[in-house]
Chains A and B, each alone.
Chain A
């Protein structure tokens, strides 16, 4: 892993995205290198989710280029007719953690985690379950394996969701406000898991409002404003010395509480 550090895993060039006539992402340029932890902040509705969802193809874009692992993500016109070749292969290697967890409610925690490895990576049940238990151990939920998601707290569900993504052995993890739906006392347990991942060298793109976490764990922080990346820098530069006026207003607002 270390050897590959520094080379780009996500390359975005002049990306534009529209919802109908609404221009959501505007001429976005962004490169994420292997091992990097990129934190994305910005006001509500600025397009953070849209940007991160483009990276694993949950959203399509209209122009520009977006490469993940050297694979050019298909544009809107190429996706009009069903599945695009190669898209699924890329998705296997990109984990996604959602604000609302999105665990499969009709499956146990264990089944949630083994589904991908068994159906997509064609692993045997025994192997998938062994690996799942190891991951549950890692997120501190070994004893919850046979429960249904509905019986877990939000923080526990989100940790299961992270384990589910990790089970696919991704080389890039996307987080879209993973702690925003959680009660305050559960935020810490999820951030701990993410901090641990960062320490192990996982490449991550994280949308979050947890500024303390961003400063501590992020390698780089970018600010999205009305669909544009208007500020980018190390946490120190970003938080202590923002160049852009709007970033400054934003920070003064969120850091107050």
Chain B
């Protein structure tokens, strides 16, 4: 088949296989083209992106003091390195990755000459990501111990940011902190709850079941708000920062969902696995940790990733307890009458940011799933 024939064949199979397909294609493709054209012509001519550049600091960090922004850069570098290490666990550094990397660096270097003041820092953050990716590929110990490293990084990040005071954490920084913390805490809590729900001890079982069911039957916003209200009532002597209370709310709420995903994973592990492990004389703890849990988590990965995406996408709800996350920061910028004509620019930027972060998480998750499934052929 000539290349031309191949192309025609592709068109036929994918777009014009049946009359209905053809009709759909004839309607959808022009519509899409028109939408892209309209968007691009607006983005390149009518839009004024300076509002985004001028508000970048607020969008990214909220009311974080400008003099301490270097702390945020350090944290960004650490999180980038963690992401790089996580990437190395499932994705080799191939040609596509190298091309994308070179392009990113080119853009940033050009930006330096274009006098964007943050380009050098951004360059370093990107470098941290790639360095960690490459190191992770060469040092298996690192990528095999991702969980403890992630916890260590999280604690270090919180310690580094703590001198500034949690009330000043905001913008995308806050969204990412909430996502990272809740994601890391919900999985171990979910594991405990899922095992608790299967426990032989009736009271523990009832407790875990009750907890999971209650959390799953109320809205997130209610849990976050209740936790926020409850702490000062229960512990009037120890004021706990709003951010921490918000994090606790998110963690408690999403643990219940994580527990359900893990529980369905546990149920998918064949009974024979337990019997084989018991026959070897393995302790109950080893049996669960070494034999059952890895197989259950494998099944739970898609659900857990969905959970993390949910956390990220629902992080804006922390506005109810007075916090300013990314979305809220955008709205605050628009509340300034000076910017009222620039609504679209801000929203387009926020949309793209959410889209990019979300896509990265799902892409990584899919690769992880593929990798996990490779060893197991049932």
Rounded to whole angstroms, the CA-CA distance of A161 and B277 in the bound complex is: 12
Decide: B281 and A98 in contact? CB cutoff 8 A: no
Closest-by-CB residue of B relative to A94 is B279
Is A254 an interface residue, CB under 8 A from the partner?
no
Known contacts A82-B200, A115-B290, A148-B375: A102-B281 contact under CB 8 Å: no
Q: Which chain B residues border A120 with CB–CB below 8 Å?
A: 280-283
Is B295 an interface residue, CB under 8 A from the partner?
yes
Given contacts A100-B272, A119-B290, 15 further A-B contacts (CB under 8 A): A56-B279, A58-B275, A83-B284, A89-B281, A91-B279, A91-B281, A94-B279, A98-B272, A105-B376, A106-B294, A106-B298, A119-B286, A120-B280, A148-B376, A150-B376
Rounded to whole angstroms, the CA-CA distance of A115 and B281 in the bound complex is: 11
Is B21 an interface residue, CB under 8 A from the partner?
no
Is B276 an interface residue, CB under 8 A from the partner?
yes
- Mask, A79-108, CB within 8 Å of B = 1, is 001110000110110111010101111100
A residues with a Cβ closer than 8 A to B are 56-58, 81-83, 88-89, 91-92, 94-96, 98, 100, 102-106, 115-116, 119-120, 148, 150-151, 161, 164-165, 168
Known contacts A81-B200, A150-B378: A165-B290 contact under CB 8 Å: no
Which B252-302 residues have C-beta < 8 A from chain A?
270, 272-273, 275-284, 286, 290-291, 294-295, 298
Q: Which chain A residues border B284 with CB–CB below 8 Å?
A: 82-83
Known contacts A105-B376, A106-B375: A96-B276 contact under CB 8 Å: yes
A116 to chain B, nearest CB (A): 4
Known contacts A58-B275, A106-B376, A119-B286: A168-B280 contact under CB 8 Å: yes
B158 to chain A, nearest CB (A): 33
Closest-by-CB residue of A relative to B283 is A88
Q: What would 19 A/B residue contacts be, using CB atoms closer than 8 Å?
A: A58-B279, A82-B200, A88-B281, A91-B281, A96-B276, A98-B272, A98-B275, A100-B272, A102-B272, A103-B276, A104-B276, A105-B378, A106-B295, A106-B376, A115-B290, A116-B280, A119-B283, A120-B283, A168-B281
Rounded to whole angstroms, the CA-CA distance of A89 and B281 in the bound complex is: 7
Say which residue of A91, A98, A151, A161 sits within 8 Å of B377 (CB atoms). Answer: A151
- Most chain B Cβ neighbours within 10 Å, of A82, A102, A161: A102
Decide: B280 and A92 in contact? CB cutoff 8 A: yes
Rounded to whole angstroms, the CA-CA distance of A98 and B377 in the bound complex is: 19
Known contacts A56-B279, A120-B282: A104-B377 contact under CB 8 Å: no
Q: Which chain A residues border B278 with CB–CB below 8 Å?
A: 57-58, 91
Decide: A116 and B200 in contact? CB cutoff 8 A: no
Q: Which chain B residues border A100 with CB–CB below 8 Å?
A: 270, 272
Q: Which chain B residues border A106 with CB–CB below 8 Å?
A: 294-295, 298, 375-376
Rounded to whole angstroms, the CA-CA distance of A48 and B91 in the bound complex is: 49
Q: Which chain A residues border B376 with CB–CB below 8 Å?
A: 105-106, 148, 150
Q: Which chain B residues border A104 with CB–CB below 8 Å?
A: 273, 276-277, 291, 295
Rounded to whole angstroms, the CA-CA distance of A94 and B270 in the bound complex is: 22
Decide: A165 and B279 in contact? CB cutoff 8 A: yes
Known contacts A105-B375, A119-B290, A148-B376: A95-B295 contact under CB 8 Å: no
Q: Which 4 A-B pairs have the closest CB atoms?
A: A150-B377, A92-B281, A102-B272, A102-B276
B147 to chain A, nearest CB (A): 16
- Mask, B347-378, CB within 8 Å of A = 1, is 00000000000000000000000000001111
Decide: B280 and A164 in contact? CB cutoff 8 A: yes
Rounded to whole angstroms, the CA-CA distance of A64 and B75 in the bound complex is: 66
Rounded to whole angstroms, the CA-CA distance of A165 and B279 in the bound complex is: 8
Rounded to whole angstroms, the CA-CA distance of A151 and B281 in the bound complex is: 26
Decide: A116 and B282 in contact? CB cutoff 8 A: yes
Rounded to whole angstroms, the CA-CA distance of A161 and B272 in the bound complex is: 12
Rounded to whole angstroms, the CA-CA distance of A83 and B278 in the bound complex is: 11
Decide: B279 and A96 in contact? CB cutoff 8 A: yes
Q: Which chain B residues border A98 with CB–CB below 8 Å?
A: 272, 275-276
Q: Which chain B residues border A148 with CB–CB below 8 Å?
A: 375-377
Rounded to whole angstroms, the CA-CA distance of A83 and B295 in the bound complex is: 23
- Most chain B Cβ neighbours within 10 Å, of A81, A83, A100, A105: A105
Decide: B282 and A102 in contact? CB cutoff 8 A: no
Known contacts A148-B375, A148-B376, A151-B377: A102-B273 contact under CB 8 Å: yes
Rounded to whole angstroms, the CA-CA distance of A113 and B375 in the bound complex is: 17
A55 to chain B, nearest CB (A): 11
Q: Which chain A residues border B280 with CB–CB below 8 Å?
A: 91-92, 115-116, 120, 164-165, 168
- Mask, B293-327, CB within 8 Å of A = 1, is 01100100000000000000000000000000000
Which B1-55 residues have C-beta < 8 A from chain A?
none
Rounded to whole angstroms, the CA-CA distance of A89 and B283 in the bound complex is: 10
- Most chain A Cβ neighbours within 10 Å, of B272, B280, B284, B378: B280
Decide: B294 and A95 in contact? CB cutoff 8 A: no
Closest-by-CB residue of A relative to B374 is A148
Closest-by-CB residue of A relative to B372 is A106
Q: Which chain A residues border B275 with CB–CB below 8 Å?
A: 58, 96, 98, 102
Known contacts A88-B283, A106-B298, A116-B282: A150-B276 contact under CB 8 Å: no
Closest-by-CB residue of B relative to A112 is B276
Decide: B295 and A105 in contact? CB cutoff 8 A: yes
A174 to chain B, nearest CB (A): 8
Rounded to whole angstroms, the CA-CA distance of A165 and B282 in the bound complex is: 12
B64 to chain A, nearest CB (A): 43
